[in-house]
A and B are shown apart, each in its own frame.
Chain A
Amino acid sequence: MNIFRFAGDMTHLISILVLLLKIYATKSCSGISLKTQELYALVFLTRYLDLFTDFISVYNTIMKLVFIASSLAIVWCMRMHRVVRRSYDKEIDTFRHYFLILASFLLAVLVHEKFTFQEIFWAFSIYLEALAILPQLVLLQRSGNVDNLTGQYVFFLGAYRAFYILNWIYRYFTEQHFSRWIACLSGIVQTALYADFFYYYFISWKNNAKLQLPA
């Protein structure tokens, strides 16, 4: 464990807490893409298949449980909670996310570390996570104004993988034969997808103005 990875995990945790706060405090999920939340639940469920077979550390196991439980709770809340579900922007959250699932799975069958069930699903979860934010970014552009908590949620979600890139650089220089090409290249693509969001987020922070994404 290094400071970059710990900072990344904490930033990821903060993004989830901000989202839970937004849904709980405002009893609304307007501006949040249910499709992105479903993709993230799938990412965690397929990435942590080794939850009960491999033990890395108490921290690792607890964080996996938190990520799985929170992502499923958010999907449940947006689909089933009688108050929250009414505020879901169903008519603009129309990204065809099944294509993202299919593309990630096909790529995972072709490019993986080992041709085993667990490794193919691990690679699938890595590729899917890189693309999972797309429905959310599209929804933000369509819905124009972005409320603060939603903006902060997306910001922290994007920042956490940037910390992981620093973590991979650090591990590359400090550990022999450290190679995580799949996770690293996918993480670079994932962070790059946030580039324009980060730009507009920075502009809104500098001008102390509301976050506006161009349509």
Chain B
Amino acid sequence: LKVVDSHDEL
């Protein structure tokens, strides 16, 4: 599991 913020929206 890598924590990303690319698509942090639903």
Q: Which residues of A contact B (CB under 8 A)?
A: 5, 9, 12, 47, 50, 52-56, 60, 63-64, 67, 113, 122, 164, 167, 180, 183
Contacts and interface: CB of A to CB of B under 8 A. Distances in A.
Q: Could you tell me the dominant secondary structure of chain A's interface residues?
A: helix
A55 B3 contact: yes
A53 B9 contact: no
29 contacts: A5-B9, A9-B10, A12-B10, A47-B7, A50-B4, A50-B7, A52-B1, A53-B2, A54-B2, A54-B3, A54-B4, A54-B6, A54-B7, A55-B1, A55-B2, A55-B3, A56-B3, A56-B4, A56-B5, A56-B8, A60-B10, A63-B10, A64-B10, A67-B10, A113-B6, A122-B7, A164-B9, A167-B9, A180-B9
A4 to B, nearest CB: 11
Contacts of B8: 56, 60
Given A54-B4, A56-B3, A180-B9, 16 more contacts: A50-B4, A53-B1, A53-B2, A54-B1, A54-B2, A54-B6, A55-B2, A55-B3, A56-B4, A56-B8, A60-B8, A63-B10, A64-B10, A67-B10, A113-B6, A122-B7
